[in-house]
Amino acid sequence: MRMITEYCALKQYTFIHRTMPTAPKKAKRRAGGGEGSSNVFSMFEQSQIQEYKEAFTIIDQNRDGIISKDDLRDVLASMGQLNVKNEELEAMIKEASGPINFTVFLTMFGEKLKGADPEDVIVSAFKVLDPEGTGAIKKEFLEELLSTQCDRFSAEEMKNLWAAFPPDVAGNVDYKNICYVITHGEEKEE
C-alpha cells in the first residue's frame, strides 16, 4: 500500500512540475533580479495568470476586488455546497495574511504549487522506483510509467522532460536532480 501511495505522490509532483513555469530562475531575472519572489507574476506564465484571473473573478461574486467570506459562501452554494459552516469559511479566509485581492490570491497559489513538500519526501517517492538505491531510474521505465499511468504525459511533455533532464549515456535519469528542481526551481550548481 505504501508503494502505491508514494507512486501517486510522484505522479502528483510530476503534474505540478509540468504546470509550473519552465524557467523560474530566468523569469526572476526578467522581473527585476534580486528581489526574489516579490513579484508573484514572475512565477507564472501569462496563460496561467489569465486562468487564475478568471477563477478569481468567478469567486469574487460581488465584484469588489476582494474575496470575502460571503463570496466564498456564494460560490460554494452555486456549486451545490449549501451547508458550509462559518468556521470553515473563516479558516479559508485566514489562509491569507490580509484581504484576498488578486495579487494575494495568486501568491497563495504560487506558495501551494512551489515546493509543496520537502525535497526528501519527493525523493522518497522516486526511491520506490529505485530498489537498488542508485539515485537513477532507467529512462525507458520512467517514460513508460509517465505515459501509461494516471495523469499521462503527452509525447511533447516527454520530449520536454528529456530536454530538461537528459539521461546519461547508459539511459539513466538522475531523479535527485529532478526532485531538486521541483522544490527549488533551478538546477544545482555542481
Written as tens digits, the pLDDT of the chain (190 aa) is 334 434 444 444 444 444 444 433 333 333 333 333 457 787 777 887 888 888 889 899 899 999 999 999 988 888 778 888 999 899 889 888 889 999 998 888 777 666 456 778 888 888 888 888 899 999 999 999 888 887 788 888 899 889 889 999 999 999 998 888 776 666 555 5
Give the containing element (helix H, strand E) for 113: helix 102-113
Distance CA 31, CA 142 (A): 35
CA angle, residues 94, 51, 46, in degrees to nearest 5? 110
Whole-Å CA distances, 12 to 15, 116, 151, 185: 5, 10, 8, 16
**Domains contained in the chain, CATH given:** 2-19+116-184 (1.10.238.10), 38-113 (1.10.238.10)
Q: Which ranges of the chain does DSSP label H, i.e. alpha helix?
A: 2-19, 24-31, 46-59, 69-78, 86-94, 102-113, 119-127, 139-148, 155-164, 175-184
Pull the grid cell for residue 137. Answer: 531510474
In one-letter notation, the amino acid at residue 64 is: D
Distance CA 68, CA 100 (A): 7
Radius of gyration of the chain measured on its C-alpha atoms: 19
In one-letter notation, the amino acid at residue 71 is: D
